[in-house]
Structure 1
Amino acid sequence: MQLYTYYRSTSSYRVRIALALKGLAYQSLAVNLLAGEQRAPAYLAVDPQGRVPALRVEGGQVLIQSGAIIEYLEERYPQVPLLPGDALARARARGIAALIGCDVHPLHNVSVLNRLRGLGQDEAQVQDWIRAWISDGLAAVEQLLEDSGWCLGPQPGLADVYLIPQLYAAERFSVALAAWPRIQRVAALAAGHPAFAQAHPAAQADAPSVQ
């Protein structure tokens, strides 16, 4: 498999975690978003939307959108499950994933931020926008997590795959986690887990040496 990725892309980070948790080998193909490589004709032939991640799977087909990619990996490689067997528990995990992936992350996507700047918002206003949406989302996630272990159980799963990259974004944008002890607990578990370390932005070949 080949993963088109960018080291600090939140959605790429999710897919890297899922691949690492499942022990799946892949070739990492960096797409430099700051340099505009996602808009180059060669990459638009891979993903017409010009976004990362994209995953080229066996047979050459290309999958786009992190949620769809992770669901494919879960169905294709079920031996290390990211979702529990119980339908209600699966729905809880998907709910947390959707909260982060649909209601938080898109609102600090670079395309949204650039549109805000184009509408005349200064940088302080843009940063306030980012912090407000991340904080509101994480405050809700905190209430949905269990009191021990990972987000929803003794093993990392789909909710953790979504939460940890969002915490990386929170750190980037100076959102403190002090008010959310459950989230802090999960962050500490991830910090000591080899799959999450392997997927971390700092461990990627395209990451700058000083961040």
Structure 2
Amino acid sequence: MPLVLLDHPLSSYAQKVKIALREKGVSFETRMPEGFGSGRIDNDFGAANPRTEVPVLLPERGEAIFDSTVILEYIEETWPAPALLPPAPAARARARIIEELCDSQYEAVNWGFGELLWFRRAEGELAERLDAAARRDTRRIQAWLTAQLGAAAWFGGEHFGWADAAVAPMLNRSIHYGLGPDADSPLALWHARLIARPSVQQTFAEFDAAAVAMARMADYYRTDGRRREYRDHRLEWMIRSGGLSVVAAGIEEHTIRFSWPGQS
């Protein structure tokens, strides 16, 4: 049985893992899990990951591995070359810090903007307030990332690495949303270098195709057919940005869910 990645092409976490696997030349196949977005755990997906979140890596031997950071660690230990983490402990810690901020703060802002753009969770004044918050927070995060990049070609210095794989899907989604950095800025030039890499080209092409499909399916997510997961950092962003009524409406209409073990 080949290496399998339970995946959704729009997941920034899954994109990060796919970029890492492709950088290392690891052969794998992707599969959309049964019941994705429903919150159901009484199936193979729930058995592999009780949180029913992608990505999940299914090795040829052994148990399923979930959580994108844990998967990255497994990939780095199983296929050490080319290395994505730098050799020095301080540099490795810095790469993990960049990843952590992207996985929490940056993902939450992108996700919240997607709730407006794709799923129309708010209208009128509330939509304007949430839109402004997403734009403000995106600028702040991109300014921090620009400082982390400095004058280097990559976040790890001379070579593409762990932090680049983590930033890649987050910044690319901002650009897709029209919230990218200024042209010719260090971050925009980094993105230009990034999309020249075959591992990234293939991953982003999958994202682009799925984004078109998601735009067509947005109304389905406004029913109880699939429910968007309001994980901790996403819920925090929505509430502190003024969207408490969005959460209340989602609970009432049964169009949102929360993480295991407290499924809504």
TM-score (norm 1): 0.83
- Hey, what does 1:182 align to over in structure 2? 186
Contact 2:9 2:210 in 1 (8 A): yes
Shift of residue 194, structure 1, vs aligned partner: 0.8
- Hey, what does 2:100 align to over in structure 1? 98
1:53 equivalenced with 2:59 (yes/no): no
User: Greater relative contact order: 1 or 2 (C-alpha under 8 angstroms, separation 6 or more)?
Assistant: 1
Contact 2:14 2:54 in 1 (8 A): yes
Which residue of the other structure, out of 128, 131, 139, is the alignment partner of 2:132?
Answer: 128
* C-alpha distance 84-148 of structure 1, shift in aligned 2 (>3 A): same
Contact 1:96 1:159 in 2 (8 A): yes
Identity %: 25
Structure 2, unaligned stretches of length 5 or more?
216-264
- Hey, what does 2:13 align to over in structure 1? 11
Based on CA coordinates, which of the two structures has the bigger radius of gyration? Answer: 2
- Hey, what does 1:81 align to over in structure 2? 83
Shift of residue 103, structure 1, vs aligned partner: 2.3
Shift of residue 107, structure 1, vs aligned partner: 4.5
1:25 equivalenced with 2:3 (yes/no): no
- Hey, what does 1:41 align to over in structure 2? 42
Distance 2:105 2:187 in 1: 18
Contact 2:7 2:14 in 1 (8 A): yes
Amino acid at match of 2:4: Q
Q: Deviations over 1:136-182 (max 9, x none)?
A: 21211110113131222222101100111011221233213107822
Distance 2:84 2:136 in 1: 29
Distance 1:174 1:205 in 2: 14
Q: Secondary structure at the match of 1:3?
A: strand
Amino acid at match of 1:133: D
Q: Deviations over 1:21-56 (max 9, x none)?
A: 1111111002488x7355363222221111111111
What is the correspondence of 1:193-208 to structure 2 with a 5 Å cutoff?
193-200=197-204, 202-203=205-206, 207=210
Distance 1:208 1:88 in 2: 37
Shift of residue 123, structure 1, vs aligned partner: 3.4
* C-alpha distance 50-168 of structure 1, shift in aligned 2 (>3 A): same
Contact 1:7 1:13 in 2 (8 A): yes
Shift of residue 205, structure 1, vs aligned partner: 10
Structure 1, unaligned stretches of length 5 or more?
none
Contact 2:57 2:64 in 1 (8 A): yes
Contact 1:151 1:186 in 2 (8 A): no
- Hey, what does 1:149 align to over in structure 2? 153
Contact 1:6 1:12 in 2 (8 A): yes
Q: Secondary structure at the match of 2:48?
A: coil
Distance 1:83 1:165 in 2: 18
User: Does 9-18 or 125-134 show the bigger shift?
Assistant: 125-134
Q: How many residues align?
A: 206
- Hey, what does 2:164 align to over in structure 1? 160
